[in-house]
Amino acid sequence: MRSILLHVGDDSCMEARLQVALDIAREFNAHITCLQPVSFDMSVPGDLYGTMIAELIPVIQDNADQLRARLSARLANEDVTWDWQQEQGPSRQLLMQAAALADLVVLGACDPASDGKRPSALAGYLAVYGRSPLLVVSEAIRSFDLSGAAMVAWNGSLEAANALRGAVPLLRRASSVTLANVCEDAEAVGVSLPSFDAAEYLSRHGITCEIVSIERGQHSVGQAVAEAAAARDAAYLVFGAYGHSRAVETMFGGVTRELLSAPPLPVFAAH
């Protein structure tokens, strides 16, 4: 894990994801690429000729430059290597392209467009359609404990297997690993890989794990997983993200939506 892509934006989760990216970069001697999308694609009601938008463009660019200067000054004092890429265009496309050669993408859980009141549509999109592992962090997170306990949400799906493989570098450093069986709709999962196979795979990487079953009770799968992780004082959660419909990009799976909505701990997700 030597290349980390950090999404830069002026939102309430920025400090959290910056600190997490720094913790991981120090542990793996990794390089951080700070990608700052700057989008001028907007509409103002009643602005038929684009006059107001033309006036807003320099303000948006100035705010972006100030954020870049502020964070660059901080990074200059950190013991990691980094570079800064400020690009004009939609965040989705820019991050999808940059993530192609990144070992990990660090994103915030809040949606800047909704003042943090909705889960990040950007994180959901990249979790389902991207091919690089994501680490999604909420505003309250201030560090990433690589030596802490880890929980893997296992439902036997190919997505869960992909997430497990991608998380191996992190899991090797965990003080303990719990493989938590969760029951989901068989049609949604598609395949069913036994948890013992997953445990055997981890053992080949020198990782021992405890296999447990999560009792859902009256809770949703997402709630049950989050509560089980909290009960074991897990430092982070690993799970496979999937979508119910590839035709509608906003309809990512219910469990994916739940776990990416203000997660109480960092969430490592892969599709």
pLDDT at 249: 36
The residues spanned by each domain of the chain are 3-137, 149-270
User: What is 3-137's CATH superfamily?
Assistant: HUPs (3.40.50.620)
| 66 Cβ neighbours under 8 A, 6+ residues apart | none
Tens-binned pLDDT, residue by residue, of the chain (271 aa)? 999 999 999 988 999 999 999 999 999 999 999 999 998 665 445 554 456 566 778 888 999 999 999 999 999 999 999 999 999 998 999 999 999 999 999 999 887 665 555 677 888 888 888 889 999 999 999 999 999 999 999 989 899 999 999 999 999 999 999 999 876 554 444 567 899 999 999 999 999 999 998 876 666 777 788 888 888 999 999 988 765 444 333 333 455 566 666 678 999 998 8
pLDDT at 128: 80
- What is the Cα–Cα distance from 145 to 149, expressed in whole angstroms? 8
Which ranges of 76-132 does DSSP label H, i.e. alpha helix? Answer: 91-99, 121-129
Can you give the C-alpha Rg of the chain in angstroms? 19
pLDDT at 121: 83
Helix-then-strand count for the chain, H and E:
10, 10
Residue 237: is it exposed, middle or buried by C-beta count within 10 angstroms (0-12/13-18/19+)?
buried
* pTM score, whole prediction: 0.88
CA atoms within 13 A on the CB side of 90: 8
**What does the block give as tokens for 49?**
């000729």
Q: Which fold has domain 149-270?
A: Rossmann fold (3.40.50)
**CATH topology agreement for domains 3-137 and 149-270:** yes
